[in-house]
Structure 1
């Protein structure tokens, strides 16, 4: 298996900011100047606010139709990788030259993003990797955190992912820390299975035929992304949380694996490797060992 070094991080002008508040008045204190900055920025389309319907109404009272408004339940509709695809697609279609646009952004902490410790960790990973993924772009993002909705540990961790907080940490180091947490052991009844038998197995464990085929395709894309070595595959679980774990020799040292949008379109398509798997599955976890006998494990879980 190929060993990947850290890719060179482009030195762009992505401006990734954070604001924390616990009242609507404090929210407006942060949001109004930010959106006004976007309205007066040369070469930019109108700024966009992605937040709760109640906060959108507050902003509309000031800006009327001059600003774009998106309920955050329409933007954050799935996993953190889905949010990356949503953001990349929006910038490609609507941003000004070089990705120029101001985006005020707030995940739905009463929904999936705040539903479990695992989901909260995935969102912190997303916030950290955004600094690398969008580095080449002239996008300005203000991530707003309401202490009444976001858990205290989320806000503490989020300060490590925004360069303007004073607590910012290198995304490579932060994601390495997240990936150092071992995955739960596979259950004793996990069974070895060829990749081409995954669809039939998943169907027998309760996934509908279309879902079983999609899960099998994700496992196949993950296997293809891991290089020429034939992956050892074990499967376990029942619908909807069918799980496959692939292991190959070597060390995958790239925290952006499967997060970088593919050229030519953002919709999941065959041939996209880990991007495809991350888009169609609830979770894709990558763990790489160290040393000459290292192995890389990729664990793919279809549903939550």
Structure 2
């Protein structure tokens, strides 16, 4: 049985909270969370350290609200979707008629890596619609850039307000439409320099060797090996499913390695490709999904010249 504003809603009830003071955040979060506990619903908080402690201190002792490690949950978009879907499935299997979650994307993501978090906020309207979830995504307007707030309005069907209302977003855009639009990709400054390695129509083995060649110990070994596998997967996809020529470029910085794979095709047709495992065995879908969970930032661009994926290992440029 569903309760509150989502009482008569089927599937995912997705809201954003725009607040400009701590009191405004608490005015929305505390009734939302205590209402879930009172209704016997699994109720979770996945906020950052400061806002999480703010909410925790405002709740009564032994409230029954469970706190998730927000920084871990929101490490990478595809991984966040996978872990949340697992959590939601477990709660439904245990008999939950509704689950409540309030969370926030880390503010560090509001810079050059915002493009894939904007896509995350859009994609979860579809990814979580199998579950009786009511969630709120909190955004502090004091530190959130206007362009990010514009995307928040487009990716959330409604807003929860401090005075208890739940109002539709006038610029809400369904995910299939939103995700087909090209994201705003911020160039990595490394790309202003000549690449350390550039190959045309490389084999998967040559692509792996190119990444190893660019490595000078600037990224952890685990991150390097993840990038090696990801570049190999993406080059293989481009050779099999794209259009020639396929080009691999690799740049090496002090704290990251950036690789781009381009081909003359249009890229994946499924708008959720990368963020969700593609159903029906679509070409390249599983490899891109794995890549999104392995690299610290993945972007895509589609233009007259074809399709380009950019993969970053190490400390992603945040702008």
Q: TM-score, normalised by structure 1?
A: 0.77
Q: Is the partner of 2:311 in helix, strand or coil? A: strand
Residue 219 (1) aligns with residue 223 (2): no
Alpha-carbon offset, residue 62 of structure 1: 2.4
Residue 49 (1) aligns with residue 67 (2): no
Q: What is the match of residue 203 of structure 1?
A: 212
Runs of 5+ unmatched residues, structure 2: 1-8, 159-168, 280-284
Q: What is the match of residue 312 of structure 2?
A: 301
Question: What number of residue pairs does the alignment pair up?
Answer: 277
CA distance in 2 between partners of 1:50 and 1:182 (Å): 27
Q: Is the partner of 1:296 in helix, strand or coil? A: strand
Answer whether contact 1:251 1:289 (CA < 8 A) is retained.
no
Alpha-carbon offset, residue 14 of structure 1: 0.4
Q: What is the match of residue 17 of structure 2?
A: 19
How does 1:27-106 map onto structure 2 within 5 Å? 27-41=25-39, 44-45=41-42, 47-60=43-56, 61-65=58-62, 66-76=64-74, 78-94=75-91, 97=95, 100-106=98-104
Answer whether contact 1:247 1:298 (CA < 8 A) is retained.
no
CA distance in 2 between partners of 1:73 and 1:29 (Å): 23
Match of 1:276 among 290, 297, 307: 290
Match of 1:163 among 157, 171, 177: 157
Q: Is the partner of 1:64 in helix, strand or coil? A: coil
Answer whether contact 2:215 2:257 (CA < 8 A) is retained.
no
Match of 1:259 among 267, 275, 280: 275
CA distance in 2 between partners of 1:59 and 1:187 (Å): 46
Match of 2:249 among 235, 239, 243: 235
Answer whether contact 1:81 1:259 (CA < 8 A) is retained.
yes
CA distance in 1 between partners of 2:223 and 2:88 (Å): 30
Q: What is the match of residue 198 of structure 2?
A: 191
Alpha-carbon offset, residue 238 of structure 1: 0.7
CA distance in 2 between partners of 1:13 and 1:249 (Å): 36
Q: Which moved more, 1:29-38 or 1:226-235?
A: 226-235
Instruction: Map Cα deviations across residues 20-59 of structure 1 (whole Å, 9 max, x no partner).
Output: 11122211111122113322446x32x0111234433443
CA distance in 1 between partners of 2:78 and 2:125 (Å): 14
Q: Which moved more, 1:150-159 or 1:217-226?
A: 217-226
Pair 261,89 (structure 1): closer, same or farther in 2 beyond 3 Å = farther
CA distance in 2 between partners of 1:29 and 1:152 (Å): 23
Q: TM-score, normalised by structure 2?
A: 0.73
Match of 1:139 among 119, 128, 133: 133
Alpha-carbon offset, residue 133 of structure 1: 1.6
Q: What is the match of residue 5 of structure 2?
A: none
Q: What is the match of residue 263 of structure 2?
A: 247
Runs of 5+ unmatched residues, structure 1: 1-10, 264-270
Match of 1:122 among 95, 116, 122: 116
